Amino acid sequence: MFPAVPPATRVLILVNVALYALELLAPNVMTGLFALWPLGSSLFRPWQLLTYAFLHDPKTILHIFLNMFALYMFGGALERYWGGRRLVLFFLVCVLTAALTQLAVQYPGGAGTLTDAADVAGPVMGASGGVFGVLLAFAWYFPRQRLFVIPIPIPLPAWLFVTLYGLIELFFGVTGIEAGVAHFAHLGGMLGGALCILYWRARHRFRS
């Protein structure tokens, strides 16, 4: 039995689904205005540092399905632990650091060298940066929680799963084997998540 979706997680999922529906109706307009374009592109706008995370590849439903399923599973657990306000803030911080990391990696190599969409030359879109931050936070707070990962036949503790996932992303990002996926944006989301948690902990200790 799947647990009920907490309110903040539900809102994040519904916003993503609603904007995906709009994207299917007007893909060029939505992508041009709200996907994350490289700094050298005439289409780049500052608000894209956040809005790109609420768009997904209109050519396949698998992109949004996997991101929303992960947000449901792991974001819901964090919301029950943190509360909704902190989850949304954390998610947006991870989305922002993922975008900044992606732009920093793109800039030396020219526009469109790494994307999170099917078109290699296209802009970055997708909630993956925020989701990777959520994954890191889940492993941080629930390190011994067992996760079943296909096709691995045995459950893995969350800390090991996320560590291996991060190393795989780093490998793909450095080697460029899996083109068309913003691996460094995923890592940027994890980095932003770690910095956010460390900041909250330091602030709590200072107040104490």
Which H/E stretch holds residue 48?
Answer: helix 48-51
> Do the Cβ atoms of 63 and 57 come closer than 8 Å?
yes
Q: How far apart are CA 36 and CA 188, in angstroms?
A: 15
In the predicted structure, residue 78 carries a pLDDT above the cut 80: yes
* Span of 4-18, 20-34, 84-98, 154-168 with lowest mean pLDDT: 154-168
Residue 141: left (phi > 0), alpha (psi -120 to 50), or beta? alpha
In the predicted structure, residue 115 carries a pLDDT above the cut 50: no
pLDDT tier, 121 (very low <50, low <70, confident <90, very high otherwise):
very low
If one counts every other C-beta atom within 10 angstroms of the C-beta of residue 22, the result is 14
pLDDT tier, 186 (very low <50, low <70, confident <90, very high otherwise):
very high
Average pLDDT over residues 156-167: 91
pLDDT at 49: 97
CATH of domain 7-207: 1.20.1540.10
Q: How far apart are CA 140 and CA 123, in angstroms?
A: 31
Task: Locate the domains of the chain by residue range.
Answer: 7-207
